[in-house]
């Protein structure tokens, strides 16, 4: 596993680390996901959850105040209450409080049953986990999902924020999503931020939580430090 910080840019502290699946030879998520089938999806999802928790704890996350954000596959969850048991067992065994766990899913994944996804999100929230829609704006279902259920966080897709300082349509779309999210009590996270120009305009829009290469690249089996424009912070700040 690799870990990339999500930074509270008002304080400079790491709000959360996103766990990013990596192969034994450093292969990226796309390579590994290409081998996931309906037959092995459940086992893959479970292994990733365990590896994320164990890897983050081994890297020192318990010594920080940061949360751990784990990607999951909704179609791998046949029963939210049953499929979370190994995650709970692993969290207890490693000493990671469950209220420091966030589960994020991408709206890009083919959703066979959005009511099933709603059930997962509502079950996880009742159990004390945070929930997030990843890559919001990349697929066709984003606003439709929000009409059905709300997560704690929305992660704006990098395609929405790429070059946002020079694109009026992107700015208008992002401003609209921010207004909707704030009205629903949802926290916005901007991901994929690579330039100071993108960073500055998102800050001006009131986005507090930012993730991207500008601040920190993913660290393989470690929790990387953070570089904010003009300031530097250790991962444990």
Domains parsed from the chain with CATH numbers: 2-224 (3.20.20.450)
pLDDT, residue 65, reads 92
Interval 108-143: pLDDT, tens? 656 557 888 899 999 999 999 999 999 887 765 678
Q: Over the chain, what is the mean pLDDT?
A: 89
Say if residues 68 and 53 touch (Cβ distance below 8 Å): yes
The span from the first CA to the last CA of the chain, in angstroms, equals: 22
Annotate 48-102 with DSSP letters as a single string: HHHHHHHHHHHHTGGGSS-EEEEE--GGG-S-HHHHTHHHHHHHHHHT--GGGEE
Interval 12-33: pLDDT, tens? 999 999 999 887 666 676 767 7
Say what the pTM is: 0.90
Q: CA geometry: angle at 220 spanning 5 and 152, to 5°?
A: 30
pLDDT, residue 109, reads 56
**What percentage of the chain has pLDDT greater than the value 70?**
88
Place of tokens 């459940």: 42
Say if residues 61 and 17 touch (Cβ distance below 8 Å): yes
Say if residues 5 and 224 touch (Cβ distance below 8 Å): yes
pLDDT, residue 236, reads 46
Helices then strands, counting H and E runs in the chain, come out as 9, 11
110/204: higher pLDDT: 204
Place of tokens 């999951």: 72
Rg (CA), the chain: 17
| Residue 158 to residue 193: CA distance in whole angstroms | 7
Residue 191, pLDDT above cutoff 70: yes
| Residue 29 to residue 229: CA distance in whole angstroms | 29
């Amino acid at each position: 596993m690799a870990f990339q910080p999500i930074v509270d840019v008002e304080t400079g502290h790491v709000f959360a680390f996103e766990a990013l699946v990596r192969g034994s030879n450093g292969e990226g998520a796309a390579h590994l996901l290409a081998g996931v089938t309906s037959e092995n999806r459940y086992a893959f999802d479970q292994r990733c959850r365990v590896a994320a928790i164990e890897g983050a704890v081994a890297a020192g996350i318990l010594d920080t105040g940061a949360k751990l954000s784990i990607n999951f596959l909704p179609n791998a969850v046949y029963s939210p209450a049953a499929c979370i048991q190994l995650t709970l067992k692993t969290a207890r065994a490693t000493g990671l409080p469950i209220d420091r766990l966030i589960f994020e899913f991408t709206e890009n994944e083919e959703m066979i049953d959005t009511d099933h996804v709603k059930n997962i999100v509502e079950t996880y929230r009742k159990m004390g986990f945070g929930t997030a829609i990843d890559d919001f704006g990349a697929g066709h279902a984003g606003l439709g999902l929000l009409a059905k259920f709300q997560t704690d966080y929305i992660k704006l897709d990098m395609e929405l924020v790429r070059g946002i300082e020079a694109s009026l349509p992107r700015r208008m779309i992002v401003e609209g999503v921010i207004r909707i999210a704030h009205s629903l009590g949802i926290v916005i996270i901007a991901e994929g931020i690579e330039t100071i120009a993108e960073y500055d305009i998102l800050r001006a829009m009131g986005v507090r939580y930012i993730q991207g290469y500008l601040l920190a690249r993913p660290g393989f089996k470690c929790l990387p430090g953070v570089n904010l424009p003009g300031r530097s912070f250790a991962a444990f700040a």
